[in-house]
């Protein structure tokens, strides 16, 4: 294989991490007079024939991948992106000058979307598919020392650990096993079997100056509050202060609602921590985030597509089902039902199940509740779902009127991905608040390291 052929195969493999062979073949046919098919690409990859891309075709494939930054030396700090999804937190920390040196995400389709949108320097960046391969948490027979040595070897040094870990119950079922292995208690005991345990292990081994963890609001009350208590206890044990840890109740600044940034009610809990031993005298608090609320928050109407395919309009059968379902539960005194919104509304939380029926956010197209549901006009004005592009804007991956965020997956996958993600402007604001502390912690850590040397 010649060097030119190897370059073409390497490029094809990189593009195939995002798009399938059918898409690539169609894309090439659009920009060339050749007859490239899926079978052609398959033969190239299997070595049955040599690729013969023209310069123009090679450039068109290259353009499908994210571009390297023009000034890569301008990064201000490094971070790792754990449970990355489609990169909502990556986008936020990129925006304040961060360089991502490790990404961990297990879902195949989320990885496609992530790789379609974010450049990662192959010489500096690690892409991990299962965080447990980094932490060795699946094998209880592996000692903490062995696990930490493995993490030290495979996880790059970083200034900030960023993670949106799943909410899971904690159990002490493994205590006797750990006693038998001579393992100390603490988070290595209480958090075992949860994915927070893997985050904690990386914090323990790498000791980054700061972290930012996010989760659903209900993390605080999960398992009668036990889960959240164990998490705070573990972070304290690991040598970190957690900002605003003393607050609880409705005034807790750790709970941030996205509707202050975009027209969606979506509350998340945010934990910002920094190492106690760095002795950073800081007045950091998430209470200051209100200073970063936009003066003119976009309306829902600002996020709408100018033209919408009819396939997003609910079928008569589905609309009738949702209508009757809401009536039935209203009669029982329940609040279950669809969420009909207009251009000035604040929507409910977009969920990962949105692809099923879209019931939590239905765009009103002229339904009149004062007239017969089955009237011809009401039936022709059935509501519609948000399009995936509108979901991208509602989650802050695209600005109003824009469509730059690449969605390389089906509508069903896209709905799941956006529903599982974070509202980007919320975390851009958190990141902006954190940046002075990141730089301060970075300098303190550097000074300590030089003194120790």
Q: What is the set of active-site residues? A: 167
Helix 55-62 to helix 21-31 angle (10° resolution) is 130
Dist CA 170 CA 191 (whole Å): 6
Q: Phi, psi at residue 7, to the nearest 5°?
A: -60, -40
> How many residues are given for the chain?
453
Token representation of residue 258:
């996205």
Which residue, chain included where needed, has tokens 């495979």?
154
Token representation of residue 250:
């409705």
Dist CA 220 CA 227 (whole Å): 7
Q: Phi, psi at residue 315, to the nearest 5°?
A: -70, 155
Dist CA 322 CA 304 (whole Å): 23
Dist CA 75 CA 438 (whole Å): 13
Token representation of residue 77:
């700090």
Which residue, chain included where needed, has tokens 């192959």?
122
CB 326 within 8 A of CB 337: yes
Q: Of 52, 137, 440, nearest to 283 (Cα)?
A: 440
């Amino acid at each position: 294989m010649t060097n030119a052929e190897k370059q073409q195969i390497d490029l094809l493999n990189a593009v195939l991490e995002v798009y399938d062979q059918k898409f690539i073949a169609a894309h090439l046919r659009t920009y060339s007079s050749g007859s490239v098919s899926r079978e052609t690409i398959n033969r190239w990859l299997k070595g049955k024939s040599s690729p013969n891309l023209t310069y123009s075709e090679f450039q068109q494939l290259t353009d499908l991948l994210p571009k390297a930054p023009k000034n890569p030396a301008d990064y201000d700090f490094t971070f790792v992106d754990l449970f990355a999804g489609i990169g909502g937190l990556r986008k936020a920390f990129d925006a304040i000058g961060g360089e991502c040196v490790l990404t961990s995400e297990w879902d195949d389709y989320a990885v496609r979307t992530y790789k379609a949108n974010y450049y990662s320097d192959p010489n500096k960046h690690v892409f991990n598919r299962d965080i447990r391969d980094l932490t060795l948490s699946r094998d209880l027979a592996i000692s903490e020392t062995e696990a930490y040595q493995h993490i030290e070897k495979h996880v790059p040094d970083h200034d900030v650990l960023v993670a949106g870990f799943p909410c899971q119950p904690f159990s002490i079922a493994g205590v006797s096993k750990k006693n038998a292995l001579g393992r100390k208690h603490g988070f290595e005991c209480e958090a075992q079997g949860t994915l927070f345990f893997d985050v904690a292990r990386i914090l323990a081994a790498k000791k980054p100056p700061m972290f930012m963890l996010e989760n659903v609001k209900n993390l605080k009350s999960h398992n009668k509050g036990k889960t959240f208590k164990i998490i705070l206890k573990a972070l304290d044990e690991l040598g970190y202060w957690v900002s605003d840890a003393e607050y609880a109740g409705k005034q807790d600044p750790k709970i941030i609602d996205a509707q202050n940034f975009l027209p969606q009610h979506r509350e998340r809990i945010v934990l910002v921590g920094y190492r106690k031993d760095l002795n950073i005298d800081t007045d950091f608090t998430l209470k200051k985030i209100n200073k970063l609320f936009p003066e003119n928050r976009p309306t829902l109407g600002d996020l709408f597509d100018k033209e919408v395919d009819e396939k997003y309009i609910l079928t008569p059968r589905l609309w009738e089902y949702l209508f009757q379902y809401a009536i039935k539960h209203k009669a029982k005194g329940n609040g279950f039902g669809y969420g009909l919104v207009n251009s000035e509304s604040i929507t409910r939380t977009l969920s990962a199940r949105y692809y099923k029926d879209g019931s939590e956010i239905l765009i009103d197209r002229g339904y009149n509740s004062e007239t017969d549901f089955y009237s011809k006009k009401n039936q022709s004005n059935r509501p519609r779902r948000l399009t995936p592009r509108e979901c991208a804007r509602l989650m802050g991956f695209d600005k109003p009127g824009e469509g730059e965020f690449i969605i390389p997956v089906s509508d069903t996958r896209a709905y799941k991905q956006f529903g599982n993600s974070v509202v980007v402007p919320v975390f851009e604001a958190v990141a902006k608040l954190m940046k002075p502390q990141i730089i301060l912690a970075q300098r303190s850590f550097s000074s300590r390291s030089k003194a120790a040397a």
